[in-house]
Amino acid sequence: MTRFDFIVIGSGIAGLSFALKAAELGSVAIVTKRARAESNTAWAQGGIASVTSAEDSFELHVKDTLEAGAGLCDEAVVRRIVTDGPARIRELIEFGVAFDERELPDGSHELDLAREGGHSKRRILHARDLTGREIERALLAAIERAPTVTVFENHIAVDLITLGKLGPASTDRCLGAYVLDEATGEVATLRSDRVVLATGGCGKVYLYTTNPSIATGDGVAMAWRAGARIANMEFIQFHPTCLFHPQARSFLISEAVRGEGARLIDGKGRTFMEKYDARKELAPRDIVARAIDAEMKRTGARCVYLDITHQPAEFVRERFPNIHETCLGLGIDITRQPIPVVPAAHYQCGGVQTDENGASSLRGLYAIGEVACTGLHGANRLASNSLLEACVLAHRCCAAIAGQPPPAADSALDDLALPAWTSGDAVAVDELVVIYHNWDEIRRLMWDYVGIVRTDKRLQRAAARLRNLEREIAEFYWGYKLTTDLLELRNLATVAALIVDSALLRKESRGLHYTLDHPEADPSLCLATVLRR
Select from 487, 234, 170, 202 the least CA-distant residue to 345. 202
Question: What distance in Å separates the CA atoms of residue 347 and residue 191, rounded to the nearest whole number?
Answer: 31
Distances (CA, A) of 335 to 282, 303, 306, 422: 21, 19, 11, 58
H, E, C per residue of 180-248: EECCCCCEEEEECCCEEECCCCCHHHCCCECCCCCCCCHHHHHHHHHCCCEECCCCEEEEEEEECCCCC
Neighbours of 173 (CB within 10 A): 18
Q: Do 57 and 146 sit in the same domain of this protein?
A: yes
Give the CATH number for residue 219: 3.50.50.60
Q: Do 208 and 247 sit in the same domain of this protein?
A: no
Residue 300 resides in a domain: yes
Choose one of 343, 363, 385: the last residue of a domain: 343
Give the CATH number for residue 248: 3.90.700.10
Question: What distance in Å separates the CA atoms of residue 281 and residue 265, rounded to the nearest whole number?
Answer: 10
Q: Is residue 381 classed as helix, strand or coil in its secondary structure?
A: coil
Neighbours of 129 (CB within 10 A): 24
Q: Do 323 and 460 sit in the same domain of this protein?
A: no
Give the CATH number for residue 504: 1.20.58.100
Is 458 catalytic? The answer is no
Q: Do 54 and 119 sit in the same domain of this protein?
A: yes
**Partner residues linked to 248 by β-bridges:** none
Residue 423 resides in a domain: no
What residues make up the domain containing 45? 2-234+349-409
H, E, C per residue of 482-500: CCHHHHHHHHHHHHHHHHH
Contact present, 322 and 45 (Cβ < 8 Å): yes
Q: Do 119 and 144 sit in the same domain of this protein?
A: yes
Select from 512, 63, 119 the least CA-distant residue to 279. 119
Buried (b) or exposed (e) across 234-243, using 16+ Cβ within 10 A?
bbbbbbbbbb
According to DSSP, the β-strands at 372-373 and 351-353 are parallel
Question: What distance in Å separates the CA atoms of residue 274 and residue 128, rounded to the nearest whole number?
Answer: 29
Contact present, 368 and 397 (Cβ < 8 Å): yes
Q: Do 228 and 248 sit in the same domain of this protein?
A: no
Specify the pTM. Answer: 0.95
Contact present, 350 and 231 (Cβ < 8 Å): yes
Transcribe 56-101 into DSSP letters. --HHHHHHHHHHHTTT-S-HHHHHHHHHHHHHHHHHHHHHT----E
Contact present, 439 and 489 (Cβ < 8 Å): yes
Of 137, 285, 319, 396, catalytic = 285
Buried (b) or exposed (e) across 248-278, using 16+ Cβ within 10 A?
eebbbbbbbbbbbebbbbbeeeeebbeebbe
Residue 421 resides in a domain: no
Q: What string of pLDDT tens digits covers the 533 residues of the chain?
A: 999 999 999 999 999 999 999 999 999 999 999 999 999 999 999 999 999 999 999 999 999 999 999 999 999 999 999 999 999 999 999 999 999 999 999 999 999 999 999 999 999 999 999 999 999 999 999 999 999 999 999 999 999 999 988 877 778 999 999 999 999 999 999 999 999 999 999 999 999 999 999 999 999 999 999 999 999 999 999 999 999 999 987 899 999 999 999 999 999 999 999 999 999 999 998 999 999 999 999 999 999 999 999 999 999 999 999 999 999 999 999 999 999 999 999 999 999 999 999 999 999 999 999 999 999 999 999 999 999 999 999 999 999 999 987 655 445 566 678 889 998 889 998 778 889 999 999 999 999 999 999 999 999 999 999 999 999 999 999 999 999 999 999 999 999 999 999 999 999 999 999 999 999 999 999 999 999 98
Residue 418 resides in a domain: no
* Helices 484-505, 456-479: inter-axial angle, 10-degree rounding: 150
Q: Do 360 and 281 sit in the same domain of this protein?
A: no
Select from 360, 380, 396, 381 the least CA-distant residue to 514. 380
Residues in contact with 296: Cβ distance below 8 Å, sequence separation at least 6, in sequence order: 302, 303, 304, 342
Q: Do 121 and 227 sit in the same domain of this protein?
A: yes
Q: Do 244 and 392 sit in the same domain of this protein?
A: no
Question: What distance in Å separates the CA atoms of residue 294 and residue 300, rounded to the nearest whole number?
Answer: 10
On the CB side of 41, how many CA atoms lie within 13 Å of its CA? Answer: 30
Contact present, 373 and 224 (Cβ < 8 Å): no
Q: Do 56 and 205 sit in the same domain of this protein?
A: yes
Q: Do 378 and 458 sit in the same domain of this protein?
A: no
Domain count, the chain: 3
Q: Do 156 and 202 sit in the same domain of this protein?
A: yes
Residues in contact with 295: Cβ distance below 8 Å, sequence separation at least 6, in sequence order: 266, 272, 301, 304
